[in-house]
Amino acid sequence: MNRINKKLQEDKKLLSIYFTAGFPQLNSTVSIIESLENSGVDMIEIGLPFSDPLADGPTIQESSTKALENGMTTEILFDQLKDIRKNVKIPLIIMGYFNPMMQYGIENFCKKCKEIGIDGLIIPDLPVKEYSENYKVIFEKYDLINIFLITPQTSQERIYFIDKISRGFVYMVSSASVTGSQNTFGTVQKEYFERIAAMNLKTPQIVGFGISNSATFKQATDKTKGAIIGSAFIKHLNQNGIAKINEFVTSIID
Amino acid sequence: MSYFVDENGYYGKFGGAFIPEMLYPNVEELRVNYLKIMESDSFQKEFKSLLKDYVGRPTPLYFAKRLSDKYNTKIYLKREDLCHTGAHKVNNTIGQILMAKRLGKKRIIAETGAGQHGVATATVCALMGMECIVYMGEIDIARQAPNVARMKMLGATVIPALSGSKTLKDATNEAIRDWINNPVDTHYIIGSVVGPHPYPDMVARFQSIISEEIKKQLTEKEGKENPDYVIACVGGGSNAAGAFYHYLAEENVGLIAVEAAGLGIDSGESAATSVLGNEGIIHGSKTLLMQTKDGQITEPYSISAGLDYPGVGPLHAHLSESKRAEFISVTDDEAMKAGIELCEFEGIIPAIESSHALAVFNTKKFKKTDVVVLNLSGRGDKDLNTYINYFKL
């Protein structure tokens, strides 16, 4: 069984952390992953940096630019991750934009992910239809779970469709925004969380965008399986360094 | 072979809509409605009436006698430089603002590089009394001050794009992010035949008025609808799309697309995407783009701010790959020389974008009997500083 599916069966609210590979230093990747796992994080999204991350807010944009300046490439990331499964047991997901993956070659990219022990991919600009028609077969050949997004604007019909074709979890974007733009959740989001909960989807939902602390983590996971933190973690990493990762994680899930 | 968009939004293998789920409802709303709206009588009536009385269409198809004599062929200039706001860009913004109104949108966003599309968007927003926000790279704001002032005079808010390389591609990213953040009341007026389907097709259709008029005007002047060649410059490719549109299926009409070679194809300072680019995704479209081998989008260069986009529209990628159009690249120097030549021979100061198209007469030989239509996409007022600095005027 894929590590993501196994993790989703655990009887707890899951905390997933996103970080941009190559930031703050080119070679931070492995130590960040190990610190996150040791701090009790359930799942990690490794961001493959892109020059034009159009679904991301300023924090992740800046970390991506810095990572590219540091020299991060797809090849280097794969090389850094080659022995990651010797120690790390939790699910690892690569999150990135489609163009760098295309240039690597989709089949090669998936094959490499499988060799390393990557469990899934989140590709914001690979639409559901393109995936289903052209790439699903390849992803499944290498046992990679493709994670789809839904937003408050996604129609009910489309949510049921995405639920049907999802194999891991549904990435529930908390609000109509790019990453990092919210600090609290208001009534609109609560209604959205309730509306989705009432749909009784077969696929567990994990909320992302706008989760930054213990309060928003609790709100986001009240009716869902878990939550993802990206921008807030990158800010913390930038200010406090890898040595203080445990402090950040503890402040969320204590 | 078809050169028009198919039902999935593709031109051959190029096109599509590679957009995050957050944009799906907006783009889908447009996709489902754009043809229905554009083809309705009320839309056509309003669109045509504004093109006539506000933009000043039809623009003349002018026989350039002295230039023709010099190059020993028959050269016609399609005078898009005479459009209100100084370029063909306004054909598209008029169309899209009418589209936005019919979709019930209240707020308009746009990206701009040199500022021409920003000015054309600010203009139609003033015309319709709609809120207008234009994203422009911080570096472009500094080097295009007069156009920034024009947009402000027209009531637009100009927001600097501070991310990435702080130029056109980043302004486009910022506009897309704004649309993600404002999915309900906002319409995004893209300035070229780029972006996710249906934008490339919609913008090409709005610009197709150019070749629609050429057909009629050429019939009056030459007794036939089809020239032997149509020449246009290509950055993203909207003026070329408009000038080629009604000739795409007429295989006996040669289509010549002119890209900016900048300091030279191999100089590292170029914008000739059809030569230097390869297949990838930029701004929601699968097309040819300039990138590193690792898939990071690179910054193009041209003396002409309107041509330094790292991609081309998917239609042009298809025209290039299928060889339906001949792609020629022209350096800064060749374009500047051709621009001055038009001033001296015909009394017309062209935009430097259009000067690239004019430079083709120095690299390609036409027959004496050939009828060649060149789309003069814009006027050179905005480029005076560049001309002054280049020629030490």
The answer to the question of residue A183 being in a domain is yes
pLDDT of residue B139: 87
pLDDT of residue A226: 98
List Cβ neighbours of A49 (8 Å cut-off, separation of 6 or more): A20, A21, A22, A23, A63, A64, A65, A67, A68, A72, A96
pLDDT in tens, B56-109: 999 999 999 999 999 999 999 999 999 999 999 999 999 999 999 999 999 999
What's the CA gap between B192 and B169, in Å, rounded? 12
Task: Note whether B163 contacts A65, CB cutoff 8 Å.
Answer: yes
Q: Which of A34, A42, A52, A56 is catalytic?
A: A56
pLDDT in tens, B148-203: 999 999 999 999 998 877 889 999 999 999 999 999 999 999 999 999 999 999 99
Confidence of residue A186 (pLDDT cuts 50, 70, 90): confident
- Is residue A100 pLDDT above 90, yes or no? yes
Average pLDDT of chain B, as a whole number: 96
Confidence of residue A208 (pLDDT cuts 50, 70, 90): very high
Look up residue B178 and give its DSSP letter: H
Architecture of domain B56-87+209-391: 3-Layer(aba) Sandwich (3.40)
The answer to the question of residue A7 being in a domain is no
Mean pLDDT on B140-147 = 88
The answer to the question of residue A3 being in a domain is no
Sole residue written with tokens 């009432």:
A198
What's the CA gap between B108 and B96, in Å, rounded? 10
In chain A, DSSP finds a helix count (H) and a strand count (E) of 13, 9
pLDDT of residue A179: 81
How many angstroms separate the CA of residue B322 from the nearest CA in chain A?
22
Task: Note whether A153 contacts B19, CB cutoff 8 Å.
Answer: no
Average pLDDT of chain A, as a whole number: 96
- Is residue A101 pLDDT above 90, yes or no? yes
Residue A86 lies in domain: 13-253
B145 in Cβ contact with A47 (< 8 Å): no
pLDDT in tens, B103-139: 999 999 999 998 999 999 999 999 999 999 999 999 8
Contact residues, chain B, for A181 at CB < 8 Å? 181
pLDDT in tens, B306-335: 898 999 999 999 999 999 999 999 999 999
Rg (CA), chain A: 17
Mean pLDDT on A16-45 = 98
Strand order in A92-96's β-sheet? A145-146, A120-122, A92-96, A43-48, A14-20, A226-229, A205-208, A170-173, A149-150
Confidence of residue A62 (pLDDT cuts 50, 70, 90): very high
Chain A's closest residue to B310, CA to CA, is A52
The residue ranges of every structural domain in chain B are: 25-50+89-203, 56-87+209-391
What's the CA gap between A163 and A158, in Å, rounded? 8
pLDDT of residue B164: 78
pLDDT in tens, B273-289: 999 999 999 999 999 99
pLDDT of residue B178: 96
Domain total for chain A? 1
pLDDT in tens, A164-175: 999 999 999 998
* B1 or A53, higher pLDDT: A53
pLDDT of residue B163: 83
Q: Which residues pair with A44 in a beta bridge?
A: A17, A92
**Percentage, residues of chain A above pLDDT 70:** 99
By C-alpha distance, which of B296, B111, B322, B189 is closest to A64? Answer: B296
* Residue of B109, B179, B294, B299 to mutate for A, most A C-beta atoms under 10 A: B294
The answer to the question of residue A130 being in a domain is yes
- Is residue A136 pLDDT above 80, yes or no? yes
Q: Which element (helix H / strand E) includes B162? A: none
Confidence of residue A254 (pLDDT cuts 50, 70, 90): confident
The interface predicted TM-score of the complex, written ipTM, equals: 0.95
Tokens, residue B13: 């293998």
The answer to the question of residue A8 being in a domain is no
- The residue type found at B25 is P
The answer to the question of residue A6 being in a domain is no
Active site residue A56: yes
The answer to the question of residue A4 being in a domain is no
pLDDT of residue A185: 87
Fold category of B25-50+89-203 in CATH: Rossmann fold (3.40.50)
pLDDT in tens, A70-91: 999 999 999 999 999 999 999 9
Residue A166's domain is classified under what CATH number? 3.20.20.70
Contact residues, chain A, for B169 at CB < 8 Å? 52
Give percent helix, percent strand, percent coil of chain B, each to the nearest 5. 50, 20, 30
Mean pLDDT on A97-104 = 98
The residues of B assigned a catalytic role are 89, 111, 377
- Is residue B216 pLDDT above 80, yes or no? yes
Looking from the CA of A176 toward its CB, the CA atoms found within 13 Å total 18
